[in-house]
Structure 1
């Protein structure tokens, strides 16, 4: 994967040559060409899997029955349970990609590159798309040229109960841009996301440093930095039927990637604050210790990719973090809720691969006030001016420098190569 380019010093416009440009409105299919275009699927589906053959086959059965008849690419992340042969036998029409090792979330990049549809929907081996959802997604992309990612609504289990994340995304405090079809977000579930292929590949896709677990946050920040819009569109529906019970090591991976993302994209004081919070938790929390150990091994690769997001993106992240902090303070007043939050590291986090930070929070009574900028702004619903003290955030503090040196030293002792 090519290195991600530096963030521009000023907000990019959709036509900026330094960013992948969304197509102009003239590229939207006209009514005269719609009939011929309808014969070709507009949305392909990428499924990543590893050693879950039967779950995958059930997902492929559902995708094959969709009225849209989407092309499907399966990326087998090094399965040893006969997954590849089973897919070839039961679904010979599927594009099967076998990298022979576990690429993690990067497998989605491989699948998206192999497809040729303008839009790509992601699925895991335990998730699928509702009939008609992909057609609705294509229509939204066609009608909103700046839209880079759709965060779909999710129904959980065979009974299809609404995922609590749906309400969180719908109530995003980031407001709604006039050129997007739904509330702006900076968090999503990968298995319930549809992307504009051009935007996704232009942003580098999912980053190999993070591998898997909370990998969505970094992609969201990169798309927003490049001027693409991310919106929650509840009319696009994905189904998710995860296995019951926690996944071993998942909480530690989420915490690890939250910290690495901070060092890759957030101002130094914010990254240092995250580091200090995780260090403080280590004596009492084995998940925090595992997360820190994993982070220091990947730190050299993460720092080499460091590109601080521009002020208007950072401001949006802080709006979301402010709402989350308010919820955490309210939770602290309840001993039972406080115990649950400590005993269950995933409590309060969006389920199954949702970006742990920023996670959209309950909104204020009104959307954030507009603060017009003298230059075109890709997110007019956000205040493009940095928050109070924003200029100081770009200057490394003694605390942030010390934290970076500590992590680098620990990483050197641990051997800074990815596992």
Structure 2
């Protein structure tokens, strides 16, 4: 079992799938439960006594749950997994070795293989095209986005930038963290040999509600870090969809928070985001995608 990495799993009401995947984890696990009412915490504690179970008692969102898990971890590196994902054998040992060898790299994102057929997620295919190139001292192509179920990161770097913005909850919360790590001078790299398997549930979530939250978070992230021109483009795009318009209204309710926490990205990070946009690549929103639906580009 990997000893330098802790796996943090955020979950809510996915007891059966979580119980089936926990045996596949190859490092110590901290499971943070977001107010499940299906008996998840008790079942995990009973069947997997080696897993540390943390109950938040409410649905605080995936980002908040991961922040709690990282705060409790004592290893230098942390891997995230969802309740419908797991890391391939050997991936976490390799990730730890790469992070030791590349001290300027804060985050490694691996290749996501989706479903029983283990098809490569389009996010991974986009990252492999490496529109930002590869830094000389990095283990793979530079990225400015990731799917949370497929990252291994340096715990100190995560804590340095404050982790996930808990106000963003779940869906699209990764983009802001990626920007903040890059703004702090850290490299983020795609390493395809690190494989994460994602077995998404094809039903059970409300797609319109999800689009609403994704839009809210996309708008808030742009308002917090990007130029006004980018924010205007994001708003215009959201306005075309009824769920997007609802997301815009939700975002407006957080205007005071945005004003208190807004800070522009360094010129080089903003330029890299523009390069990604021109290359037709955008930051992924979430790994919570039913198998028949293509993921967003990275």
User: How does the TM-score come out when normalised to structure 2?
Assistant: 0.91
Equivalent of 1:185, from 119, 122, 143?
Answer: 143
Pair 1:318-2:274 in alignment: yes
TM-aligned CA distance change 1:183 to 1:235, over 3 Å: same
Cα displacement (A) at 1:349: 6.3
Equivalent of 1:196, from 145, 149, 154?
Answer: 154
1:253 and 1:291 in contact (8 A); partners too: yes
Structure-2 separation of matches of 1:170 and 1:263? 29
Aligned to 1:10: none
Equivalent of 2:3, from 26, 41, 64?
Answer: 41
Question: Which residues in structure 2 correspond to 1:324-403 (within 5 Å)?
Answer: 324=280, 352=287, 359-360=297-298
Structure-1 separation of matches of 2:110 and 2:15? 25
Structure 1: which 5+ residue stretches go unaligned?
Answer: 1-38, 328-347, 361-419
Pair 1:169-2:131 in alignment: no
Aligned to 2:196: 238
* Count of aligned pairs: 289
Structure 2: which 5+ residue stretches go unaligned?
Answer: 290-295
Structure-1 separation of matches of 2:187 and 2:237? 31
1:189 and 1:353 in contact (8 A); partners too: no
Cα displacement (A) at 1:359: 4.8
Cα displacement (A) at 1:167: 1.3
Q: Over the residues paired in the alignment, what is the CA RMSD in angstroms?
A: 2.1
Secondary structure, counterpart of 2:254 in structure 1: helix
Aligned to 2:213: 253
Cα displacement (A) at 1:222: 0.2
Cα displacement (A) at 1:276: 3.5
Aligned to 1:61: 23
Aligned to 1:265: 225
2:172 and 2:286 in contact (8 A); partners too: no
1:53 and 1:83 in contact (8 A); partners too: yes
Question: Which residues in structure 2 correspond to 1:66-81 (within 5 Å)?
Answer: 66=26, 70-81=27-38
1:187 and 1:359 in contact (8 A); partners too: no
Equivalent of 1:50, from 3, 8, 12?
Answer: 12
Aligned to 2:58: 101
User: How does the TM-score come out when normalised to structure 1?
Assistant: 0.66
Equivalent of 1:218, from 167, 172, 176?
Answer: 176
1:209 and 1:301 in contact (8 A); partners too: no
Cα displacement (A) at 1:298: 2.4
Structure-1 separation of matches of 2:74 and 2:286? 30
Structure-2 separation of matches of 1:311 and 1:359? 23
2:142 and 2:188 in contact (8 A); partners too: yes
